Structure 1
Amino acid sequence: MFKNVKTTVAVAAGALALGLLGASPALAGEHRAGAPTVPAHVHDYRATGTVIARTGVNVRSEPNTGSRVLDTYPYGATIALRCKTRGENVDGNSLWYKVEGRTGWVTARYVRNNDPVPWC
């Protein structure tokens, strides 16, 4: 008789624990059909980079040196970086950073990333 009671209590406790654990993601946030499931903290993330070229770095319309120059950041400037992609190879580095908050790209060859930069 006592074995059955112990087993019943153990099974009930396990089911309760699994039920609580299974419910916790649902309590974390509401999911609407069709809405992307991106954690809120991803949108708050801002990567930065520092211009290391003594002559500054050009902001270009595309990730290559043949595209139009839109602006220039001076040496030592801190730039907000949205993401990175592969583009034209500049002195052995084919990464380019999309500048946050504006149109344009800078070559990673002349910008040191201060934070991890996500892929575009």
Structure 2
Amino acid sequence: MPTPKKLALYVAAGALTAALASTPALAEQRPATDQQPVAEQQPAAEQQPVAEHPRHTEGRVTARGGLKLRDKPTRSSRIIRVEPYGATVHIFCKTTGDHVEGNNHWYLLTDGTWAWGSAQYIVPRDGHSPRWC
């Protein structure tokens, strides 16, 4: 699922391609094939390694009375559901939001519905730190 930023880039790229194709002077200069030009690649020795990051990180709920999951990373936003103590949740990414007992990180969870939970009460498993949203 692309992020809203990526989705906006895809839409902008499609609009630009359509605009260029409809411009007569530029359309005449384009090759008659359907293939798009390939960007020049750097030699393998100069390419920077890309750090792989897991798509989802598992976490465990540590809130004794259960964790309230919300529609925004704020304490005043609507509660969507409550996850019980010890439940395993799937963390998609993290962001900053309201402070909860000194911690302003919130995790976007993907368990059935997309909901935000305070990182104060979720411990990521296997030492993985969730990626930033």
Question: TM-score normalised by the shorter chain: which range applies?
Answer: 0.5 to 0.7
Q: 1:103 to 1:45 in 2, by over 3 A?
A: closer
Amino acid at match of 1:109: Q
Task: Spell out the pairing of 1:17-96 with structure 2 (5 A cutoff).
Answer: 22=43, 42=53, 45-96=55-106
* Cross-structure match for 1:118: 131
Distance 1:23 1:79 in 2: 39
Work out the CA distance in 2 between the residues paired with 1:109 and 1:117.
14
Corresponding residue for residue 109 of structure 1: 120
- Tell me how far apart the structure 1 counterparts of residues 122 and 44 of structure 2 sit (CA, whole Å): 45
C-alpha distance in structure 1 between counterparts of 2:68 and 2:130, whole Å: 19
Gaps of 5+ in 1: 1-21, 25-38
The alignment's C-alpha RMSD in Å is: 2.1
Structure 1 residue ranges, 4+ long, deviating more than 6 angstroms after superposition? none
Unaligned runs of 5+ in 2: 1-42
Relative contact order, higher structure (CA 8 A, sep 6+): 1
Q: Which has the higher helix share?
A: 1
Residue 7 of structure 1: aligned partner: none
Q: CA deviation at 1:104?
A: 1.1
User: Partner letter of residue 57 of structure 1?
Assistant: L
Deviation of residue 46 (structure 1)? 1.9
How far apart are residue 45 of structure 1 and its match?
Answer: 2.8
Number of residue equivalences: 85
Residues in 2 aligned to 1:89 and 1:73: alpha-carbon distance in whole angstroms: 20
